[in-house]
Structures are given as C-alpha cells and as structure tokens.
Amino acid sequence: MKQPPALAVSKPTKSGFAAGLPLPDGWICVITLITALTLIPVAVLVSSLFAPERDIWMHFVEYQLPQLLTNTFLLVLGVGLSVAVIGIALAWLTAVCDFPGRKQFSWALLLPLAIPAYVTAFVAIGLLDFTGPIQTFTREYWGPIKFPEIRSGGGVIAVMTLALYPYVYLVARNAFLTQGKHAIEVAQSLGFSPTIGFFRVALPMARPWIVGGVMLALMEVLADFGTVAAFNYDTFTTAMYKAWFSLFSLQAASQLASLLIMFVLIVVMAEQQTRTRVRYNQVGRHSVQNRIQLTGKRAWLATTFCSAILIFGFIVPVIQLLLWASEVVRQDLDERYFNFLAHSLMLGFLASLLVVMAALFLSYGVRHKTNWMLRMMVRIATIGYALPGAVLAVGIFIPVAWLDNKLVTAGWIHAPLLEGSLLVMLLAYLIRFLAVAHNPIDSQMHRITRSMDEAARSLGVTATQLIALVHVPMLRAGLITGAALVFVDVIKEMPITLMTRPFGWDTLAVRVFEMTSAGEWNRAALPAVALILAGLVPIFVLTKFRLK
C-alpha cells in the first residue's frame, strides 16, 4: 500500500530538515567549531601536566598545594551544606506554607542573586573588620568586644552562602510547588507527622532539583576569584592568578588549572551520577493555593527567618554601598567611569549576541539532525559553564600566544595581534556562558513541533518565512532570557576580564577589584551599585517568563 504524502513529508530524511528545511553542512561545521573551542583550552591545560616547571611546581607542592586543597575542600563543603539548608527551608516556606509576607518574600528572596559575591564580600569586610563601623561603635560605647574574624574561612562561607543560596531556592521552590500540600497529606495518610513527612516524602521527591541547584552553586564557588581574593583566602583561582602575574609562569598557572579541571569534573560526574540513578516525574501543581497555614509563633518565626536572610543578603549590602557611593560620587565620578560603563556594556552586548547566535546553531542542529554524535558534540560544547573563568583565561591564552608567536616568526605580522584582544575575551565568554543561553533557547525550541512546521509549509510558507513568522516569535522568550542572562553574567565576570583584557580596557568589575585590593571600599561602591542595577535584569526576566 502506498504511503500517504503527509506521512512521507513528516519522515526525516538523511540530509535535511523534516519540514523541508535542508540543514546545510556548514551548520554542522559551525557546531564542530564551537565544540572544538571548548575542547582546545581543556586539552592544552591537561597536556601541560606532562611538561612541569620543576622549581615553581616544587614550591607549590611544598608550601601551597596542601593549603589550596584544604581551603577548596572546606569552602565547597561549607557553602554546599549552607546553601542547601537555607535554600530548601526558604523554598518550602514560600511554596507550601502561608505566613505574613509570604507573597513578597517569594520574589524578594531572589534579589541577592543580583549582587556579585565579590561585592557582598567587600561590604562584609568593610562593615565587620576591626576598623569597620560596627566594631568601632561597640568599642566606643561598650569597650572591647571579641568579634569573630571576618577574614577567615567562616567569613568566606557566610558571604558566598548569602550570595548563592538563590540557586537552590529557585529550583527547590519550583519542585515543592509541583507537590503542594499533597505530599504532606500523603505522608500523613501513611501515619507520619508533617515534620517526618517532609523529610521522608517531600524532600526525597525534590532531591534531583535540589542537587542540581547545589551543584550550580558549587560551580560558582570553584569559579570564584573576586570573593576569595578580597578575603585573602587562597584557592586554586587565586594561585593561578599569582602564578601568572606574580611569578610570570604561565606554565605553572596552566598546571594548577588542570588540577582544578579534574576537581570540577569529579563534581560534575557526581551530579550526573545522581541524576541517572534517581528519576522522578512532576505531575503538575497540586493544591498550590491550599497551603499549610502557619499561625502564632511559627508564623512569626517564618517571617523573621525570611526577613533576616533578605536583610543580610540584599538590604544591608545595598544600603551600605549607597552610603559609601554618596561619599565619593562628586569627586570620583568622572570620564573614567563612563569608559568603565561603556566597556562593560559593549562587552555584554557583543558577548550576548555571539553566545545567543551560537546557542541557536546548536539548538537547531540537534532539532533537525537526529544524530547521536551531534547531540554529544552539543553536550560537550555546553560544559564550559562548569569551567572556572580563570581556567578558561589560562587555557585560551596559551594557544593564542602560540599562534601569535608563529605568525610573528613567519613574518606575517610584526607584533602579537591576538594576545590581549577583544576577540580572546569574547571567545572565553562564548565558552563560559554558552550553556546559560542554550538552556532557555533549547527549552523553547522543544515547544516547536514538527507538525507546526508541516502545517506552515502546507500553507505555502517558505523556509525564510517559516523561521521569521513561526520560529522567531515562539523562541522570543528564550532568546530574550538567554541574552539577558549572558549580558549580566559577562558584565559581572571578573577573572576572564581581568586576565585577558586589552591594556587599559577596564570595566566596572575590574574597577571593583582594583579598589577592593587597595582597601578603598567607598570608591569600590560606585561601580558595584552599577553592577547591582544590571544584575536586577535577570531577576525581572525570571519573574516575567517564570523560568524553572
């Protein structure tokens, strides 16, 4: 029996789109190129282990490596546990319970996400250090009082927890919203109390989402440079910076970066193993409005807890930054700051445009070319978010410097052309933040079914019109979300910008680092306020499009 024409059209061919949109081989080449851009820095760094600089390496092994390993482990452990406890507690309270201020807290608790961790760090140091206003005030009125040392591992963990808990809060809240009060009711029907039901039923059901949020926060911890530098807390990222710019050994920096890559891969593999072994399906929102009513002491404890996190994580830092900025705005706000702002905005715009275009190529390629190898390439291309910015800076600079030297030796150029250029910065941003744009764009792409393409083609719509009239409007939310998130991540990014920028090309993030390194908190506040205002963009986007 002859197959109907409609079925014949819907069957994907070997060389093209299912809906008559041929996939050019050039697209596959672009996807291969993007994947190679991610693999080259990793391969370069790992290969550096086979050619160590013995003197410098022995110095690190004898005096610094044990401390680096200990500090990094304690930081990951402390922040991981803290963000999990705080994020889960806040998510449960705002998603399932009802208490005074719940509606306001549900979105306000995301606001600390707008403040870079290194900004929260120097605000905490400025307020709580021995010469800060809090200890000075207590000495004047109550005499010497022993305060915990803010420049310590505990201080770093506390600051990073306040800055990173929204990652866990956001995903855990979405998970609890799908359960509603239903999970507790099921637990009670089995004879459990509400508290035991939370730990035995609701929490295990949300574990995959919670683990994902915690892992995302830990990736930020491993990638952080500005926060640990402000606290003089040595980790692999600060050691790489010192090896490159203090010891002038790019080789030693690359070897430290390769060790950090191995550490990151272990964390990523552990997270992947957790997801493959545990599979849960959400079945919609259950009785979201039928919340657990908290009354009396429990209600006010919930309000107090949420208020404390919001106050210390957002309100206090913002108020202190505004006070510091008001002291220097007249004498410090000059033409340089407009250059800082222009450089930051330019980098954010160019990077978001480049990254969104690359993410579109990846998403279209996987959608219309059902090839396991292509899907694997896309997955490799998007692992850059798990690589710290300092690692990428080192991994990209080495091959670029090698290429420049080859071109100079061949006589094609008279001086290094690529080193310290905007092109190197944009390539690093592309590798680092491709996953940030790909996730929302690919999620929107899944909503475009092949039947929609076939229906449009049956109405005489051309390939160009199909993309312009059907695909782009349906991808609009993902495109805007991806571009906004990349834009804000780029202007806040410190290690890549600091280590690869052209000479004199300072940004707001670089200005914050320079002023905090000199201990001038009030002068660092002005660019920090600008970064926070920009950081509010993804909060608005997350609220508007309800990303999960």
Task: For residue range 339-364, list pLDDT tens digits in order.
Answer: 888 888 899 899 999 999 888 888 87
Please report which confidence band the pLDDT of residue 318 belongs to, taking 50, 70 and 90 as the band edges.
Answer: very high
What is the average pLDDT score of the chain? 78
β-strand partners of 22: 16
Q: What is the DSSP string of 291-360?
A: PEEP-HHHHHHHHHHHHHHHIIIIIHHHHHHHHHHHHHHHHH-SHHHHHHHHHHHHHHHHHHHHHHHHHH
Q: Which residue has the tokens 């820095």?
A: 41
Superfamily covering domain 17-51+333-548: MetI-like (1.10.3720.10)
For residue 187 the two structure tokens come to: 């637990």
Q: Which residue has the higher pLDDT, 349 or 371?
A: 349
Residues 239 and 390 sit within 8 Å (Cβ to Cβ): no
Q: CB under 8 Å to 247, separation ≥6 — which residues?
A: 56
Residues of the chain with CATH 1.10.3720.10: 17-51+333-548, 67-118+150-319
Rg of the chain over Cα atoms, rounded to whole angstroms, equals 25
End-to-end CA distance of the chain: 47
Q: What is the pLDDT of residues 102-161, one digit of tens each?
A: 889 988 998 898 888 889 998 999 888 887 788 888 888 887 777 888 888 899 999 999
Alpha-helical regions (H) of 413-518: 422-445, 450-458, 463-466, 472-492, 495-500, 508-517
d(CA 201, CA 187): 6
> Taking residues 375-395, what's their average pLDDT?
78
With b for 16 or more beta-carbon neighbours within 10 A and e for fewer, the 373-409 pattern comes to: ebeebbeebbbbbbbbbbbbbbbbbbebbeebeebee
- Give me the phi and psi of 292, to 5 degrees please: -75, 120
List residues bridging with 293 in a β-sheet.
98
Helices (H) and strands (E) in the chain, counts: 27, 2
CATH number, domain 67-118+150-319, options 3.40.190.10, 3.40.50.720, 1.10.10.10, 1.10.3720.10:
1.10.3720.10
Q: Which pair of tokens denotes residue 118?
A: 């290194």
With bands split at pLDDT 50, 70 and 90, how would you rate the model's confidence at 200?
low
Mean local confidence (pLDDT), 445-466 = 71
